[in-house]
Amino acid sequence: MATRVRPVSYDKSCGFRKLCFNHLQMLLCCWFGYNVSLRVVQSSKRCAVIGGSGFLGRHLVEKLLDRGYSVSVFDIRQSYELPGVTFHQGDLCDKQTLLPALGDVSLVFHCASPAPGSDNRALFESVNIQGTRTVIQACIEAGVQKLVLTSSASVVFEGTDIKNGREDLPYAKKPIDYYTETKIEQEKLVLEACDKKKGFLTVAIRPHGIFGPRDPQLVPILVDTARRGKMKFIIGDGTNLVDFTFVENVVHGHILAAERLRPDSPLCGKPYHITNDEPVRFWDFMSDVLVGLGYAAPRYRLPYTLVYGLALLLWLLALILRPLVSFKPTFTPMRVALAGTHHYYSCERAKQDMGYKPVVSLKEGIARTVESYPHLRRGA
Ligand SMILES: NC(=O)C1=CN([C@@H]2O[C@H](COP(=O)(O)OP(=O)(O)OC[C@H]3O[C@@H](n4cnc5c(N)ncnc54)[C@H](OP(=O)(O)O)[C@@H]3O)[C@@H](O)[C@H]2O)C=CC1
Ligand SMILES: CC(C)=CCC[C@@H](C)[C@H]1CC[C@H]2C3=C(CC[C@]12C)[C@@]1(C)CCC(=O)C[C@@H]1CC3
């Protein structure tokens, strides 16, 4: 028995030790293996988002984290903290500040821009044009392989109807504002920088009318106008179709473009419209958001040419009186044109080349947006 027991107990302890050893081995293997694979994932899935503190940028960062990327954010301000995100604060016009944010990064998203509402021409020029030159130089110096720019569908809009516009429409000769003028130059710079031989690939995403939770513009401007009692009128006959694009669809388009951008893919050096693929009547969209937040929908019709003429007059008056009084009219010619014309775009090219398909419908997008603004509800 003893002889049987001893070996058994010996075997037992030996088995136990073996078991421990095996476990330890397994744990070590798992740990090192995990670390190695993590490092592989990290180096290939490490990216930077310039403008990552902004509305679109932050949504993009959140989705990238979900998809296993680690993200370096570069922005002039830091608006949040998240695990997996390293923040670098600075002005993108300063290459030396920008470079550390691009270390060990193979993919860069550039979605920084001064807000379109600003009328500071010098700022648009320095950030969108000079700054984008700096971004390109910094990417090349840092060995970045892919640059995805957030451009805008407005680069082809001149204030007159665009129906199902494709990417081959010429750039606007008379852009609607300084912002758009500099977005055109910015897009050209990025697309021209695409160089397969040097291994630096670029693509531009042209979204239109981005909306969604945390948007600081569209819903806040709309509600502010309603609260001031100025959302009573429909400009034109109310049938003009426009693209409003839910932010998660825009993010989806950016990530698809980045992942499909390869030397042999058709994406290199090209612009892509990313929309909800559901053009909607401008005034129906506005009404849905307003009614969802408890405000009345606009009801009375005003002829487009009359309102446009008045807006032009007001704009001229503001310009002449600028040295004496400063006022910002709600009805600028640009806003009237956006509210009273057709401007919707085809996203067929994105569907074909990158398999794009919106992931959130307009109805769902509006519902989620309305829900996210409890503080903008009527009476709040
Ligand atoms: N929103 C829309 O409907 C559309 C947007 N786009 C484009 O999408 C991009 C993102 O837009 P959106 O998220 O709405 O804009 P946001 O203003 O919310 O985000 C842009 C971010 O860039 C930052 N930024 C501005 N200047 C600099 C600078 N010099 N250096 C570093 N960071 C800077 C901004 O900081 P700060 O806020 O302090 O200025 C902000 O955090 C832009 O390129 C815009 O042109 C295109 C079509 C439609
Ligand atoms: C589709 C697209 C390019 C949208 C861009 C967003 C903004 C330009 C719009 C968001 C809220 C809109 C708005 C007006 C114009 C266009 C917006 C600023 C009006 C000022 C148009 C005239 C009105 O009757 C009031 C509107 C308030 C909301």
DSSP 200: B
Q: Are 367 and 209 in contact (CB under 8 A)?
A: no
**Identity (one letter) of the amino acid at 237?**
D
Instruction: For a ligand 2 pocket test, name from 162, 210, 219, 225 the mutation site with the most ligand atoms within 8 angstroms of its C-beta.
Output: 225
Instruction: For a ligand 1 pocket test, name from 74, 76, 132, 185 the mutation site with the most ligand atoms within 8 angstroms of its C-beta.
Output: 76
Decide whether any atom of ligand 2 lies within 6 Å of the 310 Cβ: no
CA 286 to ligand 2: nearest atom: 28
* Count of domains forming the chain: 1
CB < 8 Å & 24+ apart, contacts of 336-339: 336/235, 336/304, 336/307, 336/308, 336/311, 337/159, 337/160, 337/176, 337/308, 338/176, 338/242, 338/282, 339/235, 339/236, 339/282, 339/283
DSSP 72: E
The pLDDT of residue 84: 93
The pLDDT of residue 325: 80
The pLDDT of residue 2 is above 80: no
CA 207 to ligand 1: nearest atom: 47
Question: Ligand 1 centroid to 56 CA: how many Å?
Answer: 8
DSSP 54: S
Lowest mean pLDDT among 4-13, 116-125, 228-237, 309-318: 4-13
Q: Is the ipTM of this complex over 0.95?
A: no
What's the mean pLDDT in 25-29? 42
The pLDDT of residue 321 is above 90: no
Q: CA 215, CA 373: separation in Å to the nearest integer?
A: 10
pLDDT band at residue 330 using 50, 70 and 90 as cut-offs:
confident
Q: Are 82 and 62 in contact (CB under 8 A)?
A: yes
Q: What is the pLDDT of residues 41-78, one digit of tens each?
A: 444 689 999 999 999 999 999 999 999 999 999 999 99
Instruction: For a ligand 1 pocket test, name from 75, 87, 183, 251 the mutation site with the most ligand atoms within 8 angstroms of its C-beta.
Output: 75
The pLDDT of residue 29: 38
State percent of the chain over pLDDT 90.
Answer: 80
Angle at 376 between CA 369 and CA 53, to 5 degrees: 60
36 within some domain: no
Question: Ligand 1 centroid to 167 CA: how many Å?
Answer: 22
Strand partners, 72: 48, 86
Strand partners, 148: 109, 203
Decide whether any atom of ligand 2 lies within 6 Å of the 242 Cβ: yes
Indicate the helix (H) or strand (E) that contains 87: strand 85-89
Residue nearest to atom 14 of ligand 2 (CA): 335
Question: Ligand 2 centroid to 288 CA: how many Å?
Answer: 14
Q: What is the pLDDT of residues 100-113, one digit of tens each?
A: 999 999 999 999 99
The pLDDT of residue 301 is above 90: yes
CA 338 to ligand 2: nearest atom: 16
Residue nearest to atom 28 of ligand 2 (CA): 222
Q: Which residues form ligand 1's pocket by a CB distance below 6 Å?
A: 51, 53-57, 75-77, 91-93, 111-115, 127, 131, 150, 152, 183, 207, 209-210, 216
Q: CA 190, CA 65: separation in Å to the nearest integer?
A: 25
The pLDDT of residue 28: 42
The pLDDT of residue 185 is above 70: yes
Q: What is the pLDDT of residues 159-168, one digit of tens each?
A: 999 999 999 9
SS3 state of residue 156: helix
Residue 202: closest CA among 140, 131, 154: 140
φ/ψ region of 201 (left if φ > 0, alpha if ψ in -120 to 50, else beta) reads beta
Question: Ligand 1 centroid to 129 CA: how many Å?
Answer: 14
302 within some domain: yes
69 within some domain: yes
Residue nearest to atom 10 of ligand 2 (CA): 218
Q: Residue 130: which domain range?
A: 45-376
CB-based contacts of 284: which residues, under 8 Å, 6+ apart? 238
**Identity (one letter) of the amino acid at 369?**
T
Average pLDDT over the chain, rounded to an integer: 89
Cα four-point dihedral sign 105, 106, 111, 113: positive
Residue nearest to atom 26 of ligand 2 (CA): 222
21 within some domain: no
Question: Ligand 2 centroid to 255 CA: how many Å?
Answer: 28
Residue nearest to atom 15 of ligand 2 (CA): 335
59 within some domain: yes
With b meaning 16 or more CB within 10 Å and e meaning fewer, what string describes 23-57?
eeeeeeeeeeeeeeeeeeeeeebbbbbbbbbbbbb
Q: What is the CATH number for 85?
A: 3.40.50.720
212 within some domain: yes
Instruction: For a ligand 1 pocket test, name from 111, 248, 251 the mutation site with the most ligand atoms within 8 angstroms of its C-beta.
Output: 111
What's the mean pLDDT in 358-373? 98
Cα torsion 146, 57, 366, 328 to 10°: value is: -120
CA 234 to ligand 2: nearest atom: 24
Reported residue count of the chain is 380
The pLDDT of residue 248 is above 80: yes
Q: CA 242, CA 244: separation in Å to the nearest integer?
A: 6
Strand partners, 87: 73
Torsions phi, psi of 349, nearest 5? -60, -40
**Identity (one letter) of the amino acid at 220?**
P
Q: Encoding tokens for residue 153? A: 């569908």
What ligand is nearest to the CA atom of residue 97? 1
Q: Encoding tokens for residue 188? A: 């050209």
CA 298 to ligand 2: nearest atom: 24
Q: Encoding tokens for residue 125? A: 């020029």
Strand partners, 107: 47, 146
Residue 147: closest CA among 180, 177, 189: 189
The pLDDT of residue 44: 63
Q: CA 189, CA 78: separation in Å to the nearest integer?
A: 27
For residues 176 and 282, the model is more confident at 282
> Which residues form the catalytic set?
179
pLDDT band at residue 229 using 50, 70 and 90 as cut-offs:
very high
What's the mean pLDDT in 305-333? 86
The pLDDT of residue 34 is above 90: no
